[in-house]
Every structure is written in structure tokens, then in C-alpha cells.
Amino acid sequence: KAGVTQTPRYLIKTRGQQVTLSCSPISGHRSVSWYQQTPGQGLQFLFEYFSETQRNKGNFPGRFSGRQFSNSRSEMNVSTLELGDSALYLCASSLQAGGDTDTQYFGPGTRLTVL
């Protein structure tokens, strides 16, 4: 079974631009979560989507948004990029979402550099 795929793997943008990252979960998985990884803040939860609905949200500004499609693929968007948005963005997929934490499987990440 194929793992979680993320595209693109690398991105270079300039301040003020916007960017869209894509994530395809493991086949059959319906929950997709996004995390930001930086040297200063570590791994931080951005949001989770299940059945095309945002189920959970971390403490990030509204410039960070996401969506999920009917095939469970997810995209996240960052508008008005800032230098501090430079990070590795990781997507994780889970079989289900509900009250309890399910096991999450991570993709290789998208490395975003903001100049």
C-alpha cells in the first residue's frame, strides 16, 4: 500500500506571496492532519480534516487554511507569506477521526523557503 504523498517536495517563495501544498493520504484513510516543523518551535499541529470538514485547529493565524476533497486528498494554503513561515510542512493520515487519537502516518513533507 502506498504511503502518504506530498507535493511539491520543495518550494521557494517570496514574502507576500501565497502557496498551496498538497497531500494524498494512504488509501482508505479519511483523516488528514497538517503539522509545521521549524528549528525554533519544533513540531506544531496546524489542523485536521475528516470527511471534508475541519475537525481540529491549532494556534495559527488565519493566513493558514486548508481543505479536504471527497477523495480525502487535502490541501493547505498559506497567504501573505512571511519569513517565519519557512518550515517543513508535514501531512499525516489516519484511518479515522473521532474522540480518540488514531495512529498517524506521516508523509515526507514539503520544505517551504520564504525569501
Partner 1 sequence: AQSVTQPDIHITVSEGASLELRCNYSYGATPYLFWYVQSPGQGLQLLLKYFSGDTLVQGIKGFEAEFKRSQSSFNLRKPSVHWSDAAEYFCAVGGRGGGNKLTFGTGTQLKVEL
Sites of contact with partner 1 (CB under 8 A)? 4, 6, 31, 33, 35, 42-45, 48, 50, 55-56, 58, 90, 92, 94, 97-109, 111
Between 79 and 108, CB nearer to partner 1:
108
Helix, strand counts (H, E) of the chain: 0, 11
Give the nearest distance from C-beta 19 to partner 1 in angstroms.
Answer: 19
Between 7 and 18, CB nearer to partner 1:
7
Cα 71 → chain centroid: 16
Give the nearest distance from C-beta 51 to partner 1 in angstroms.
Answer: 13
CA distance 43 to 98: 22
Give the nearest distance from C-beta 57 to partner 1 in angstroms.
Answer: 9
Between 16 and 98, CB nearer to partner 1:
98
Contact 3, 25 (CB under 8 A): no
Long-range contacts of range 56-63, CB-CB < 8 Å, 24 or more positions apart?
A: 60/36
